[in-house]
Amino acid sequence: MQRREFLTSSLAAGAALATLNLASRAAHAADTKGASAKAPATPATPTAEPAPAPAVDTFVQPPLPYSLAALAPFLKEEQMNFHYNKHHAGYFKKLNGLVAGKPEAKLSLEELITKAQGPIFNNAAQAWNHSFFWNCMSPDGGGTPKGPLGESIDRDFGGLDQFKKLFTETAVTLFGSGWAWLAAGKDKKLQVVGLPNADNPLRQGLTPVLTLDVWEHAYYIDYRNDRAKYVDEFWSKVNWEFAAHNFASMAKA
């Protein structure tokens, strides 16, 4: 039985995310079906080969940390259902198929993000990115960041409003599909990074603190092509507590 932690302990953010129950673990798929105690009434035909054990998924999609409808009106249930149950689930399904029987199946998602290329990287990163993203939003979100994160945002961006303006511009103007990130370097300095497609700050040696999915599939049902409106509404549900936890955990490393 293989187990894959969502974040490795080597990552500064690992403790924070583990605390928030983000672990992604392999499913238990043991076949416990026993033989019948009753003898067959007729002579048995040549013994059939035992059925192959069901495949065990290496990587398992973590549950949403809230209900599908919990972020409404920012994101309504239909939007979240497609995003979580179709798109995010699809990345896990494709990834498990791609790594089956390969050395990559022994790596963590984070290791695949930094080491893999092509379809395995794309699906591993999208699996990780979305699991992280769900926790960047909360039904009780909004407000302002507190503690060291709030202080560092003031220091590195000149204030929360300036940070939100830069993050919003990055998210709105990112061409095509991708993600807007708040990330921190090893010196704890914060920066806003817009990355295309499945890319992740971990590949640049940065620690992800907060992200927003700007793939069209993230908002099209609720906002059609109005990405700017979607980004603007994100601030009403942003989970500063999760972001602050990621940053504080890193600061302890």
Provide the binding-site residues for Fe ion, judged by CB under 5 A: 213, 215, 218
Helix (H) and strand (E) counts in the chain: 10, 3
Tell me the closest approach of the beta carbon of residue 77 to Fe ion, in angstroms: 16
Nearer to Fe ion, 123 or 152 (CB): 123
Q: How far apart are CA 131 and CA 186, in angstroms?
A: 23
Three-state secondary structure call for residue 18: helix
Measuring CA to CA, which residue among 138, 176, 144 is closest to residue 163? 144
Measuring CA to CA, which residue among 132, 119, 55 is closest to residue 91? 119
Instruction: Dig out the tokens for 171 from the structure.
Output: 């998210």
Tell me the closest approach of the beta carbon of residue 135 to Fe ion, in angstroms: 14
Tell me the closest approach of the beta carbon of residue 216 to Fe ion, in angstroms: 9
Nearer to Fe ion, 9 or 85 (CB): 85
Nearer to Fe ion, 121 or 215 (CB): 215
Tell me the closest approach of the beta carbon of residue 153 to Fe ion, in angstroms: 25
Nearer to Fe ion, 133 or 247 (CB): 133
Measuring CA to CA, which residue among 125, 3, 131, 18 is closest to residue 57? 3
Tell me the closest approach of the beta carbon of residue 121 to Fe ion, in angstroms: 16
**Nearest residue to Fe ion, using CB?**
213
With DSSP H G I counted as helix, E B as strand and the rest as coil, what are the percentages for the chain, rounded to 5? 45, 10, 45
Q: How far apart are CA 28 and CA 41, in angstroms?
A: 35
Nearer to Fe ion, 57 or 213 (CB): 213
Measuring CA to CA, which residue among 7, 38, 248 is closest to residue 146? 248
Tell me the closest approach of the beta carbon of residue 87 to Fe ion, in angstroms: 5
